[in-house]
């Protein structure tokens, strides 16, 4: 962080901060008696038990030790005043389109705030899209470290994290082609250049990419795609180049893309129709031109029609784009574009699953901080109010469950990507040794984790909004406690990269369709291998075994149509089963009493008022919310 700020200062930051000061509205100082002590967000590495347990479960000690400094610095930065100021600026000044220049020439350029740019650049410098660099340093554990960082930085990125997620997903697509021997020399050079930019840890070099699929006719279903691509190579004497000096591609795209979050990207992967069907194209955003004898660049046959006005993700420029003679390169085989997009979504969905749980984690951190200082009911701290703690404990149990699933799916993704195994196994060996079983689980749980995390994160962030009372509903300038923003942003993940129902449909297809028997068998082997055999956890393990048997019967006895109609229930059962097993395995690792209680509450069916002791249950609720030994609670 310090290095990044120093770099920013040597460029423009100092001048900018002066500018901000001179343009600030004068405030009238009123001295008022404080009714609530200032709440303070803590460094998540110290304050978030779920995060700490993930580090212990998924990283071997020597990797954890090596990564701790880097993670601690990011955790500190993520809740720092500097980053909060940048978020506030990004929220206050969302992107705009400048349609005309001073001389009446049409330009349609996107203008974004400095705060937004710094947050994006800071994310690049933290290697959030630089997987090769992380993998090299952390010997195959780069994916886990990257997602740990994404989880922490996402809610601090003012949604610029979406650029990093997409850069990473598109890099995975380009890498899959760079590993092929068949691509021609010029395409290889172009893809390698783009790959190096997308995965660069240097903010001056790092790129963003768009992923253009959705049109007015549909986003879930791309068959109505109207954008066309025609093969029409440049004439031999035409040496038109893109902004980076590569020849413009032989395909010409025309159409309208209805949603693009990559408006300010350097390139995009666009879906367009050719004679052979839906195909994927690499399109550079800008091309080189000469104006009045001077070299410059302009948009490559694409026009920003308008920016979308959204409920959340406000700083993220999402636009409608008109493609009019945009030149690009075919990616993969003509007519097989959906497969290419699948490679991107395979990665971005895992990011979204972990990322949206990060939003929930931050909102719950705000609720914890508030509960420590707020007094209600004639001076009782909220942290001692049993009903309040019960609600927060319920949200924290869900948070821990989704953390376990999100990082399990991350570990599956890491295994699928690695050509050789990590040299040291993780502490908790949850990932199947068989690559085929791991792929089957990834195919199933990728969709489950993204959709379920999105739904539950909306409830968890909403719980935080409610927990902060009236202040929770406000658009606070203090971004650390603007939990409404976290809720608004979380809602977007219910829709982007596959809506909940579309993913539930996919889950049923994976379990019942062509690969269903392999997936069910792989899942069964994993359930058996992962369920702990400890006597103390036997009742919960029995519930899981019973639920797995019920799920198998439901899948085998019912038709695809009936299962699809009940897709959400099926998806919910897979989510409950996998998260339950993961929580049990985590609890069995060290017999931590709070981890055991979390697993029990998540797994056991709710019965009305099954306990009896307020004091004992309150103590557990407080420990679930604040950690094992909340020393600051003091004597009751």
List contacts with ligand FAD (CB under 6 A). Answer: 211-214, 218-221, 259-262, 310, 313, 318, 492, 495-496, 499, 501-502, 505
C-beta of 223: minimal distance to ligand FAD in Å?
11
Q: Which is nearer to ligand FAD, 126 or 506 (CB)?
A: 506
Q: Which residues pair with 210 in a beta bridge?
A: 268
SS3 634: coil
Q: Which is nearer to ligand FAD, 172 or 599 (CB)?
A: 172
Q: Which is nearer to ligand FAD, 191 or 259 (CB)?
A: 259
What does each C-alpha distance from 366 to 38, 259, 371, 615 come to in angstroms?
12, 32, 9, 25
Q: How many helices (H) and strands (E) does the chain have?
A: 22, 13
C-beta of 494: minimal distance to ligand FAD in Å?
9
Q: Which is nearer to ligand FAD, 383 or 505 (CB)?
A: 505
Q: Which is nearer to ligand FAD, 135 or 215 (CB)?
A: 215
C-beta of 213: minimal distance to ligand FAD in Å?
3
C-beta of 316: minimal distance to ligand FAD in Å?
7
C-beta of 284: minimal distance to ligand FAD in Å?
17
Q: Which is nearer to ligand FAD, 313 or 547 (CB)?
A: 313
Helix (H) / strand (E) element for 123: namely: helix 114-125
Rg (CA), the chain: 25
What does each C-alpha distance from 81 to 85, 356, 472, 520 come to in angstroms?
6, 22, 20, 49
Q: Which is nearer to ligand FAD, 132 or 219 (CB)?
A: 219
C-beta of 255: minimal distance to ligand FAD in Å?
12
Query: Within 184-290, where are the H helices?
Result: 185-198
Query: Within 324-385, where are the H helices?
Result: 337-373
- Helix 142-153 with 49-58: angle, nearest 10 deg: 170
Taking the CA atoms of 548, 549, 552 and 553 in sequence, report the sign of the dihedral they define. negative
147 CB-near residues (< 8 Å, 6+ apart) = 350, 351, 354, 406, 407, 410
- Helix 614-626 with 386-417: angle, nearest 10 deg: 40
C-beta of 88: minimal distance to ligand FAD in Å?
21
C-beta of 218: minimal distance to ligand FAD in Å?
4
CB-based contact 450:503 (threshold 8 Å): yes
Q: Which is nearer to ligand FAD, 75 or 87 (CB)?
A: 87
Cα 443 vs. chain centroid, distance in angstroms? 18
Which residue number has the CB closest to ligand FAD?
A: 219
Burial 373-408 (b: 16+ CB within 10 A, else e): ebeeeeeebbbbbeebbebbbbbbbbbbbbbbbbbb
Helix (H) / strand (E) element for 18: namely: helix 14-23
C-beta of 315: minimal distance to ligand FAD in Å?
12
Q: Which is nearer to ligand FAD, 502 or 515 (CB)?
A: 502
Q: Which is nearer to ligand FAD, 171 or 213 (CB)?
A: 213
CB-based contact 507:574 (threshold 8 Å): yes
C-beta of 506: minimal distance to ligand FAD in Å?
9
SS3 165: helix
What DSSP letter does each residue of 446-474 carry, written as one string? Answer: HHHHHHHHHHHHHHHHHHHHHHTGGGGGS
Report the distance separating Cα 225 and Cα 213, nearest Å.
8
CB-based contact 340:293 (threshold 8 Å): no
Q: Which is nearer to ligand FAD, 177 or 257 (CB)?
A: 257
CA angle 102, 86, 54 (to 5 degrees): 140
Report the distance separating Cα 512 and Cα 519, nearest Å.
9
C-beta of 110: minimal distance to ligand FAD in Å?
14
Q: Which is nearer to ligand FAD, 97 or 178 (CB)?
A: 97
Q: Which is nearer to ligand FAD, 241 or 310 (CB)?
A: 310
Burial 256-295 (b: 16+ CB within 10 A, else e): ebbbbbbbbbbbbbbbbbbeeebbbbbbbbbbbeeeeeee
C-beta of 147: minimal distance to ligand FAD in Å?
21
For the CA atoms of 42, 466, 91, 96, the dihedral, rounded to the nearest 10 degrees, stands at: 150
- Structural tokens at position 85: 């100021």
- Give the largest Cα separation in the chain, rounded: 85
C-beta of 251: minimal distance to ligand FAD in Å?
19
């Amino acid at each position: 962080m310090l290095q990044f700020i120093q770099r920013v200062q040597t460029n423009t930051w100092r001048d900018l901060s002066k500018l901000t000061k001179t343009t600030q509205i004068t405030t009238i100082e009123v001295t008022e008696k404080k009714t609530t002590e200032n709440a303070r967000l803590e460094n998540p590495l110290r304050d978030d038990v779920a995060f700490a347990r993930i580090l212990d479960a998924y990283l071997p000690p020597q990797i954890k030790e090596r990564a701790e400094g880097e993670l601690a610095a990011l955790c500190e930065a993520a809740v720092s005043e500097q980053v909060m100021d940048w978020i506030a600026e990004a929220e206050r000044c969302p992107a705009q389109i400048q349609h005309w220049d001073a001389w009446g020439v049409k330009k349609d350029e996107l203008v974004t705030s400095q705060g937004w740019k710094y947050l994006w650049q800071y994310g690049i410098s933290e290697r959030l899209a630089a997987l090769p660099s992380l993998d090299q340093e952390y010997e195959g554990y780069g994916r886990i470290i990257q997602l740990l960082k994404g989880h922490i930085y996402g809610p601090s990125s003012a949604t610029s994290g979406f650029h990093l997620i997409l850069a990473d997903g598109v890099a995975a697509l380009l890498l899959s082609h760079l590993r092929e021997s068949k691509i021609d020399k010029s395409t290889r050079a172009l893809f390698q250049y783009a790959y190096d930019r997308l995965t660069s840890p240097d903010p001056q070099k790092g790129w963003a990419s768009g992923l253009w699929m959705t049109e007015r006719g549909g986003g879930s279903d791309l068959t109505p795609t109207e954008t066309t691509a025609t093969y029409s190579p440049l004439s031999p004497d035409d040496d038109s180049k893109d902004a980076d000096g590569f020849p413009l591609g032989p395909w010409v795209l025309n159409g309208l893309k209805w949603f693009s979050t990559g408006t300010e990207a350097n390139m995009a992967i666009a879906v367009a129709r050719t004679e052979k069907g839906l195909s994927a194209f690499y399109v550079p955003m800008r091309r080189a031109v000469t104006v009045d004898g001077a070299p410059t660049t302009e948009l490559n046959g694409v026009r920003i029609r308008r920016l979308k006005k959204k409920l959340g993700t406000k700083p993220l420029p999402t636009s409608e784009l008109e493609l009019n003679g945009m030149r690009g390169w075919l990616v993969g085989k003509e007519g097989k574009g959906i497969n290419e997009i699948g490679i991107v979504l395979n990665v971005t969905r895992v990011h979204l699953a972990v990322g949206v749980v990060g939003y929930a984690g931050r909102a719950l951190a705000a609720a914890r901080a508030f509960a420590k200082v707020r007094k209600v009911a004639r001076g009782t701290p909220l942290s001692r109010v049993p009903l309040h703690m019960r609600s927060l404990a319920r949200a924290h149990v869900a948070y821990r469950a989704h953390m376990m699933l999100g990082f399990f799916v991350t570990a599956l993704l890491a295994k699928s990507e690695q050509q050789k195994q990590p040299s040291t196994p993780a502490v908790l060996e949850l990932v199947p040794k068989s690559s085929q079983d791991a792929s089957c689980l990834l195919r199933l749980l990728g969709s489950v984790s993204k959709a379920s995390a999105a739904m539950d994160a909306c409830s968890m962030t909403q719980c935080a909004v409610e927990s902060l009372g009236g202040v929770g509903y406000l658009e606070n300038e203090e971004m650390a406690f603007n939990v409404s923003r976290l809720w608004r942003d979380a809602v977007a993940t219910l829709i982007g990269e596959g809506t909940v129902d579309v993913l539930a449909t996919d889950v049923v297809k994976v379990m019942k369709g062509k690969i269903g028997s392999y997936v069910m068998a792989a899942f069964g082997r994993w359930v058996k291998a992962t369920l702990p055999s400890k006597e103390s956890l036997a009742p919960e393990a029995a519930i899981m075994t019973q639920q797995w048997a019920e799920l198998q019967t439901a899948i085998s006895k019912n038709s695809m149509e009936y299962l699809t109609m009940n897709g959400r229930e099926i998806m919910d059962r897979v989510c409950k089963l996998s998260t339950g097993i993961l929580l049990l395995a985590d609890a069995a690792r060290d017999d931590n009493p709070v981890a055991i209680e979390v697993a029990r509450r998540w797994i056991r069916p709710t019965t009305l008022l099954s306990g009896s002791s307020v004091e004992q249950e309150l103590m557990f609720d407080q420990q679930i919310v604040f950690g094992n030994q909340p020393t600051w609670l003091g004597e009751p």
